[in-house]
Structure 1
Amino acid sequence: MRDIDYSNYFWQDEALRLRAIRPEDWEDHYINRFDTPARRLLECAVELPPTVTEAKSFAEKFTDFSSNRLMFIIENLDGDNVGGINLNSIDERNGTFSIGIQIDRDHRGKGYGTRAVTILLKYAFFERRLNKFNNYVLEGNEASAAMLRKVGCVQEGVRRQVFFTNGRYYDSILFGLTKDEFVAFVSNTK
């Protein structure tokens, strides 16, 4: 295959690129399922032990963007897979959506999550004409809460004791961001 010129590519910034999932990405998905603390924060539960069959099925299912959950691989500009992100819960009628993200253990704390979410917010607001980003984090997930604040999200509330995991009930911390708030936030950070 010829080299690709990414200089005008929407799906990247100075540090990372979002790309479609490939069938061979199953192994990264499989390995990430062994990071129980991160998966608990993402899924609000302990998952059953990972299987190669499930990982291969996951990678195959999301390779062509045919689902209402748009799944991407996050890779740095060296081509290393650093995590995954998805646009989900898309409600075209009301203009709402959510984003799910997991950064691989070895790549956390480098700003990849904030950058990837920003790219996906630009797509949702400026290409899909969506108007409101709704999300939540599990109580205690300070890294994700800080990342949401970094992209301009506002804490909108708390749903008390809605997730049971690790022997107790946890709150769901609600965040939101409108298109107008995002535009103002981006303008103020330039």
Structure 2
Amino acid sequence: MSEHIYDNYFWQNDLVRLRPWSEDDWEWIYHTGFDTSLSRLASYKVNFPPTISEAKEYSKEVENCATKSGNTVFAIETLDGIHVGRIIFALDSERHGTFGIGIRIAKEYQGNGYGTSAMEILLKYAFMERRLNKCSSTVLEGNEATIKMHKKLGYEQEGVLKQNIYTNGRYYNEICLGLTKDMYLKNTVE
């Protein structure tokens, strides 16, 4: 098979490339399952101990951009092919033009801009190719890195759901953030 040329490829920018999730990506799911703090921030809960069979089953279900419950899963990799994370395009309502994005970067790769760069690709796809109008996100209070990333991308805080999430023995606020297409365009032009 010949080598791919990515010079004019929509699904990458100068830092990362998104590719379809592969059945072989089960190892990433399995290994990041041992990071409880990452699970708490991403899914607001402590998961049961990870199993190889569960990781393989998940990867098989979402491989090759298969949509599961309105979600499409992509692997995030560096331009050198290092798998650093997962990003999920979550279509809420095509009719109303609403969607969400879920992202998870392995701890050893956080703080390098990979998450922001991957988000930029999916936002461009949603707003400029799918004609969607609003991306909504919720973040657990105290997750300052994720809040900062969203604000860098142009999201605004729309509200706070007080004491809405229970984890680690107490209730936490859930921060609601939103980005409309108009806000996105304003942010990308400036």
Give TM class, smaller chain: over 0.9
**Residue in 1 aligned with 2:126?**
124
Aligned residues: 188
Say whether residues 1:113 and 2:118 are aligned partners.
no
Deviations 1:1-22 (A, max 9, x none): 2100100000000111000111
TM-score (norm 1): 0.97
Gaps of 5+ in 2: none
**Aligned-residue offset at 1:66:** 2.7
**Residue in 2 aligned with 1:44?**
44
**Residue in 2 aligned with 1:62?**
62
2: CA distance, partners of 1:15 / 1:172: 30
SS of structure 2 residue aligned to 1:63: helix
SS of structure 1 residue aligned to 2:45: coil
Q: What pairs up with 1:102-181 in 2 under 5 angstroms?
A: 102-181=104-183
**Aligned-residue offset at 1:89:** 4.0
2: CA distance, partners of 1:89 / 1:139: 24
RMSD: 0.7
2: CA distance, partners of 1:38 / 1:143: 12
Gaps of 5+ in 1: none
1: CA distance, partners of 2:66 / 2:20: 12
2: CA distance, partners of 1:35 / 1:150: 26
**Residue in 1 aligned with 2:81?**
79
2: CA distance, partners of 1:66 / 1:111: 27
1: CA distance, partners of 2:16 / 2:71: 21
2: CA distance, partners of 1:113 / 1:66: 22
SS of structure 1 residue aligned to 2:6: coil
Query: What amino acid is aligned across from residue 57 of structure 1 in structure 2?
Result: E
SS of structure 2 residue aligned to 1:5: coil
Deviations 1:59-103 (A, max 9, x none): 111113231201000000110001010111431011000000011
Percent of pairs with identical residues:
48
TM-score (norm 2): 0.97
2: CA distance, partners of 1:58 / 1:180: 35
Query: What amino acid is aligned across from residue 181 of structure 2 in structure 1?
Result: K
1: CA distance, partners of 2:146 / 2:21: 23
Deviations 1:96-126 (A, max 9, x none): 0000001111110000111000100000011
SS of structure 1 residue aligned to 2:80: coil
2: CA distance, partners of 1:147 / 1:72: 19
